[in-house]
Structure 1
Amino acid sequence: MTPNEGGQREQRPTGWRIVFFGTPPFAVPSLEALVAQGENIVGVVTQPDKPAGRGRQTIAPAVKVFAIQHGLPVVQPEKVRGNADFIALLRRWQPDIIVVVAYGKILPREVLEIPPHGCINVHASLLPRYRGAAPIQWALIHGEKETGVSIMLMNEEMDAGPVLLQRSVAIGPDETFGELQERLAHLGAVCLLEALREWHAGTLTPRPQDPSQVTFAPPVSTELGQINWAQPAETIARLVRGLSPSPGAYFFFQGRRVKVYRARSVRSESQVAPPGTVLRVEPELEVACESGVLVLGEIQLEGRRRGTGSEVARGLRWQPGLRLV
């Protein structure tokens, strides 16, 4: 998606000196939009390179890769709070405004007070709901029907600053975390340009968040993904969607992890078998739950290729009546 898609009209750059804080792929469309619009990006701040994957090779953050490709100065401080050298560098950059998109750390007052026009953040929820590190995942796990993007003016409290602009979107009935995250990343880029233009023009009024409506979205863990068949099928299906593709929902077969990428719930008039029982392998893999039936659309046994639930079950010679854990 280009910066002007989604109803965004052609804009002139604000002329502000901008420092961009961001780390994962979710942040790249916003930085790309700023670059495409010709904004003056005087510096990019991202997390340090970290080992990732099975080989634990050191991987650069997606924002760093994009910034280097576009000739933007990049720094990767190990810490921000109390880092005198980093604060001095920020002051030398003389930002008019700081833009933050999924940077990964709360910015201290000594950073927030540097830019005269404040620090604005792109957050993937309809604040004040789902403050925190994993708003997309928890919206799906909780079965929300809509979510969106909020552009807020930052303060020292996590995701608690006044909102400048919000846009909502419906969540698709089978949409996964990965799919929704990509949509919101691009919507966030469009909203960022709109908010930046209006903030520069003085036409936005910050709106305080309603403290009575606050909910939180803490980081998701690998342990959260273990499926408990003694739950309703709909609950498990939402967990699968909220954690797909990573870190993933899973169960175990003969001590080996089976990751579930896609699943849907099917109503059942009565509990037809104990939870975790394979009911059918063909034409689709169906498993009994506390209530309802879960259809496992796409799964992967540890060490093997990903496939449809039916394909993997046939390869493992699963039969109706098998109990999964």
Structure 2
Amino acid sequence: MKVIFMGTPDFAVPTLKKLHEKGHDILLVVTQPDKPSGRGKKLKKSAVKEAAEELGLKVFQPDRIKKAENAEILKKLQSDAIVVVAYGQLLSKEILNIPRLGCINVHASLLPELRGAAPLNWSIINGCVRTGVTTMMMDVGLDTGDMLLKKEVEIDRYMNVGQLHDLLMETGADLLTETLEKIEDGTAVRTKQDDRLSSYAPMLDKQTQTIRWQDKASNIHNLIRGLSPWPAAFFHLDEKMVKVYSSDFSEEATNHEPGFVLKADSDGIVVAAGQGTVILKEIQMPGKTRMTVEAFLRGNSFPISVTLK
């Protein structure tokens, strides 16, 4: 099949490599422009661009894919399909109508659940016990197109978003190649989404990252693992930000106010929540490296009988 591939982060790389491995004719790889990174603001290639160059594929990096001249470039390639995996820009109706067989998206949720920008994070933050990948035909809506195939995975109590990301990026690659096979042989079945069952996974911001000790301990634990390793949940100690990367929780009641530090030892930093307690296991103090609480306490102290904000 003649394919145009659109993607940007490392989540999209396994799908690109699988398409190449399966012998599809990848006419063009479209990815976001190089962006300044680090203290020196040196331009950094996207993960997809690096992979495409390793495979010897042609790369196109428009600042805005919707521009008319970019649609003309894509039209001239006469593709069978456009495959989109976390590209980062919305496609115009004109582009959606270009490929002979349509535009196929790999979305990291079991649609219509968690449409939007951050389904991986929100599946864990919301306390879901299962999620997955859906391939779908793209339309002008936000993740509203007809579904093709789904693959479900389980989320256990301690899985963080980094681990889920690595699992689903491989699952998505396999599901996309299976989807293309079914489209080619005419056995693909399109299923409309039930909008009544939809939910939204908005972009993350500082407000989302802030730990609110008044919340239930289980919800705080889900927030921490849903934002680990990036961008990380945090709280403030002496007006300085402390990031948290792993935790546990207990539903046992406490008489202390939310945010009160009960103890800090090799088992973790125990903090009262609105219901139950949260046990912080891995933290990053300001200006320090990320480390387990056990390692941190070997050379440092953490205040107890104080109330965190």
- TM-score where L is the length of structure 2: 0.96
Share of identical aligned residues, percent? Answer: 41
Partner of residue 282 from structure 1, selected from 253, 265, 271: 265
Q: Which amino acid aligns with 1:47?
A: Q
Match of 2:79 in 1: 95
Q: Which amino acid aligns with 2:264?
A: V
Q: For the Cα contact (< 8 Å) 1:222–1:248, is it kept in 2? A: no
Match of 1:9 in 2: none
SS in 1 for 2:201: coil
Mean Cα deviation higher: 275-284 or 119-128: 275-284
Q: Which amino acid aligns with 1:41?
A: I
Distance 2:41 2:101 in 1: 40
Query: Cα gap change, 1:75/1:143 in structure 2, threshold over 3 Å: closer, same or farther?
Result: same
Distance 2:40 2:290 in 1: 20
Distance 2:307 2:179 in 1: 53
Distance 2:159 2:54 in 1: 32
Kindly report which structure 2 residues correspond to 1:1-325, keeping only aligned pairs within 5 A, or say none: 16-81=1-66, 83-268=67-252, 270-284=253-267, 285-313=269-297, 315-325=299-309
SS in 1 for 2:305: coil
1:314 CA drift (Å): 5.4
Distance 2:93 2:32 in 1: 19
Q: Which amino acid aligns with 1:28?
A: V
What RMSD in Å do the two structures reach over aligned CA positions? Answer: 1.3
Mean Cα deviation higher: 57-66 or 24-33: 57-66
Q: For the Cα contact (< 8 Å) 2:261–2:307, is it kept in 1? A: yes
Q: For the Cα contact (< 8 Å) 1:281–1:314, is it kept in 2? A: no
Q: Which amino acid aligns with 2:149?
A: L
Segments of structure 1 that go 5 or more residues without pairing to the other structure are 1-15
1:94 CA drift (Å): 1.3
Deviation string 1:286-306 (CA, Å, 9 cap, x unpaired) is: 111111111111101121121
Query: Cα gap change, 1:210/1:59 in structure 2, threshold over 3 Å: closer, same or farther?
Result: same
Q: For the Cα contact (< 8 Å) 1:46–1:75, is it kept in 2? A: yes
- TM-score where L is the length of structure 1: 0.92
Distance 2:172 2:187 in 1: 19
1:313 CA drift (Å): 4.6
Paired positions, count: 308
